Amino acid sequence: MKVPTVSSIGGEDELTDQTFSRLSFDQLNLAALSFVRCRFERIIVGSLVTGYLDGITYLRDCVFDNFKVKSLSTGYSRFENCVFKNASIGEWHAEYTELVDCEFSGKLKRAIFYGRPHNPRGRVEADAKHRSLHGLPPQSDAYRDAVLRERNEFSGNDFSRAVFSDVEFVKGVDLSKQRLPEEGRLVLYDAEPILRAAADDVSHWNDGNEKSKAEFILERLLGRVNDGQSQLYVVPSKWSGSGADKLFDTIRRLLGDA
């Protein structure tokens, strides 16, 4: 069943033991403050929005079964013990999203998961100006608590049966507390010394093109480390060219020697 334009599920404080099945939306807003043991089965969504209310949206023990979404925007949201079964997620930006003990299978094409929010005080100030300009109610304590938190809890998640295309963990996600896909990836649990050693190796390369490519990749990876992500999940196939191949062979060798 196709439901066009924008639709909302919820509006109450809590929805419990509800099933939503075989629906298709252009945009879907999960509008309740809390979803408990709800099932979303064979749902197709262009854009899914959660956590846009004046506080945090909680999803506990929910199942997303054969759930397909092009764009997932989870604002101030917390997922606990949720299952994404044979899901297909096109893009997921999760700056203020907490994930705890969740399980994923299916395809996760592009995602950025944050260990801590970016510039929360700037966001609060911008929101306050917007509310004042448009005559909206002032910020609630729940909103301020959600935005000003120092860290997102992100632990106990099982991604081992998911297929990642372009997925990044940034700003302090503890990768040792997650199960990650094994195939075609490198996990650097103490990234900086490995990357510094690789940079020293690259500095002695003779081929200028290979050297430039490797230095560019190392600059990007070290940028993540300097921004608080000391553990890196890296998919070498994301980077093309002989310089990239040679660099990741070097990193694998260094990991073997560590």
Angle between helix 191-202 and 242-257 (nearest 10): 130
Is residue 53 a contact partner of residue 30, using CB atoms and an 8 Å limit? no
- According to the model, what pLDDT value does residue 128 have? 82
Mean pLDDT (whole number) for 153-162: 97
Least-confidence region, from 12-21, 159-168, 178-187: 12-21
Quick one: three-class SS letters along 51-95? CCCCCCEEEECCEEECCEEEEEEECCEEEECCEEEEEEEEEEEEC
Tokens 């599920």 label which residue? 9
What is the spatial distance between Cα 39 and Cα 51, in angstroms, rounded to a whole number?
18
Q: What percent of the chain has pLDDT over 70?
A: 92
Could you read off the pLDDT of 232-253 as tens digits, one per residue?
999 898 898 889 999 999 999 9
Phi, psi of 240 (to 5 degrees): -105, 160
- According to the model, what pLDDT value does residue 178 have? 97
Least-confidence region, from 72-81, 99-108, 132-141, 146-155: 132-141
- According to the model, what pLDDT value does residue 190 have? 96
Using 50, 70 and 90 to split pLDDT, how confident is the model at 209? Answer: very high
Using 50, 70 and 90 to split pLDDT, how confident is the model at 10? Answer: low
Residue 134 scores a pLDDT above 90: no
What is the spatial distance between Cα 112 and Cα 26, in angstroms, rounded to a whole number?
23
In terms of C-beta density within 10 A (0-12 exposed, 13-18 middle, 19 or more buried), how is residue 67 classed? buried
Residue 143 scores a pLDDT above 80: no
Six-digit token string for 189: 């649990």
Tokens 């503890």 label which residue? 174
Pairing of strands 186-188, 232-234: antiparallel
Using 50, 70 and 90 to split pLDDT, how confident is the model at 208? Answer: very high
Could you read off the pLDDT of 68-102 as tens digits, one per residue?
999 998 888 999 999 999 999 999 988 889 999 99
- According to the model, what pLDDT value does residue 181 have? 93
What is the spatial distance between Cα 18 and Cα 124, in angstroms, rounded to a whole number?
34
Mean pLDDT (whole number) for 202-227: 96
Residue 229 scores a pLDDT above 90: yes
Its pTM stands at: 0.86
Among residues 28, 31, 78, 27, which one has the least CA distance to residue 54?
Answer: 31
Residue 32 scores a pLDDT above 80: no
- According to the model, what pLDDT value does residue 112 have? 94
- Mean pLDDT taken over the chain: 89
Using 50, 70 and 90 to split pLDDT, how confident is the model at 3? Answer: very low
What is the spatial distance between Cα 104 and Cα 102, in angstroms, rounded to a whole number?
7
Residue 207 scores a pLDDT above 70: yes
Q: Is 6 left (phi over 0), alpha (psi -120 to 50) or beta?
A: beta
Six-digit token string for 188: 């650097």
Least-confidence region, from 119-123, 132-136, 173-177, 196-200: 119-123
User: Around Cβ 71, how many Cβ atoms within 10 Å?
Assistant: 16
